[in-house]
């Protein structure tokens, strides 16, 4: 009997150091007997010429163009489109450039049919690929079509026409899958909206993860920031300056590493998931220094790093904007205020680990929910 077929359209690569939620979904689908085709979009020749920093998460430093058959359960496809939707941070100019950005769906209209034909499930992750939803619906009319809202695209500074496309195309989906109730409000008018929480890889987190830290000395604390999405470098610098006897570890890619960073602020770059998990498991504190701007509140529920902190019962700190009172062990601070930051660090220093948060589920639960999406009538 042939395997059921799932197609995932995403900005992620099937094999990369950073493990976004869409990759865990892919892994669990494959473990459950599905064949997954992952189509990586949202990159163009502009990305190649500029040396897109997202390529740092690849072991080779650059993506393989074309189709790759990884095994009997995973196929991937990647290509540089002539242009991909991006903002120049000038709304009027973004609108003037909008006709040029239509080259993005035109490009993929020639490449997607072979993968979408006969698909049972299609998952489109939030990002430029939401522009492709109408053609996906036409090319895979019998597939269950899911929009997995992994991020608030408005917070990531996309051009206005892409944000409008998201809302225009949302009714095409059989399931609007979000983890954050804050983010769900945008789609509350749709009967297809479902709250599908993020998860963690419990089999990895419960495994043997050696302590990466050197021998402890009295007063030294190890604080870890596992991820650099919406990273507030100024707040991290202030924390390191306020606590010179603590060591602050930053895991994840950055556009650039400050040359004059305090010596106790250590940048490790992109690391494998198991390495990041070991840092968190053996740390004293977890940090979520998100940029303090409207819309970032959704990260309380959709931040994978915060879920891992909660799974290990780690005390954690982040900007007050993301501090949901229902999230245990989370201390808020006001970015830019040394007094507020010092107070938050003082409070962290008095906190101990707590039992694992029972509300944190395994990624397999998300997979079960996505697979349960009914196909169009």
Q: Is residue 357 in some structural domain? A: no
Q: Is residue 286 in some structural domain? A: yes
Q: Is residue 222 in some structural domain? A: yes
Q: Is residue 33 in some structural domain? A: yes
149 and 15 share a domain? yes
**Lookup result for tokens 């100019």:** 93
189 and 224 share a domain? no
Q: Is residue 355 in some structural domain? A: no
Q: Give the residue numbers spanning the domain of 55.
A: 5-197+362-371
247 and 137 share a domain? no
93 and 227 share a domain? no
193 and 239 share a domain? no
326 and 367 share a domain? no
pLDDT (tens digit, 0 to 9) for every residue of the chain, 377 residues total? 789 999 999 999 999 988 889 999 999 999 999 999 999 999 998 887 777 778 878 888 789 999 999 999 999 999 999 888 877 778 888 788 787 878 899 999 999 999 999 999 999 999 999 999 999 999 999 999 999 999 888 887 788 899 999 999 999 999 999 999 889 999 999 999 999 999 999 999 999 999 999 878 877 899 999 999 889 999 999 999 999 999 999 999 888 887 789 999 999 998 999 999 999 999 999 999 999 988 888 888 888 999 999 999 999 999 999 988 888 899 999 999 999 999 999 999 999 999 888 889 999 999 999 999 999 97
CATH number, domain containing residue 170:
3.40.50.11010
Q: What is the model's pTM?
A: 0.90
E strand map for the chain: 5-10, 35-40, 66-71, 74-78, 121-125, 144-148, 175-178, 193-195, 199-200, 222-226, 247-251, 265-269, 285-287, 316-319, 330-333, 361-362
CATH number, domain containing residue 314:
3.40.50.2000
Q: Is residue 110 in some structural domain? A: yes
181 and 157 share a domain? yes
Q: Is residue 376 in some structural domain? A: no
| Tally of domains within the chain | 2
Q: Is residue 52 in some structural domain? A: yes
């Amino acid at each position: 009997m042939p395997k059921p077929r799932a197609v995932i359209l995403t900005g992620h690569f099937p094999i990369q150091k950073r493990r976004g939620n869409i990759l865990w979904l892919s892994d669990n689908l494959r473990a459950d007997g599905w064949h997954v085709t992952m189509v990586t979009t949202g990159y163009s020749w502009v990305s190649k010429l500029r040396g897109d920093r997202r390529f740092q998460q690849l072991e080779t430093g650059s993506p393989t163009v074309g189709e790759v058959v990884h095994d009997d359960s995973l196929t991937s496809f990647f290509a540089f489109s002539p242009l991909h939707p991006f903002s120049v941070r000038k709304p009027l100019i973004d609108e003037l450039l909008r006709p040029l950005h239509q080259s993005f769906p035109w490009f993929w209209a020639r490449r997607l049919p072979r993968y979408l034909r006969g698909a049972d499930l299609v998952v489109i992750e939030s990002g430029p690929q939401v522009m492709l939803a109408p053609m996906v619906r036409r090319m895979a009319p019998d597939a269950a079509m899911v929009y997995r809202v992994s991020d608030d695209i408005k917070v990531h500074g996309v051009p206005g026409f892409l944000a409008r496309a998201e809302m225009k195309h949302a009714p095409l989906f059989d399931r609007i899958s979000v983890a954050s109730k804050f983010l769900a409000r945008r789609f509350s008018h749709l009967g297809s909206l479902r709250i599908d929480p993020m998860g963690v890889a419990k089999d990895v987190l419960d495994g043997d993860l050696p302590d990466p830290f050197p021998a402890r000395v009295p007063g030294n604390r190890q604080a870890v920031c596992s991820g650099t999405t919406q990273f507030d470098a100024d707040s991290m610098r202030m924390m390191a300056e306020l606590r010179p006897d603590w060591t602050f570890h930053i895991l994840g890619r950055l556009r650039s590493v400050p040359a004059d960073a305090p010596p106790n602020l250590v940048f490790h770059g992109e690391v494998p998931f198991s390495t990041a998990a070991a840092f968190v498991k053996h740390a004293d504190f977890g940090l979520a220094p998100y940029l303090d701007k409207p819309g970032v509140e959704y990260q309380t529920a959709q931040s994978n790093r915060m879920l891992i902190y909660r799974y290990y019962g780690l005390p954690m700190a982040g900007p007050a904007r993301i501090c949901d009172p229902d999230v245990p062990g989370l201390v808020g601070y006001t970015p830019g205020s040394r007094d507020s930051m010092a107070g938050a660090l003082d409070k962290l220093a008095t906190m101990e680990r707590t039992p694992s948060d029972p509300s944190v589920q395994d990624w397999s639960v998300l997979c079960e929910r996505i697979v349960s999406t009914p196909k169009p009538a």
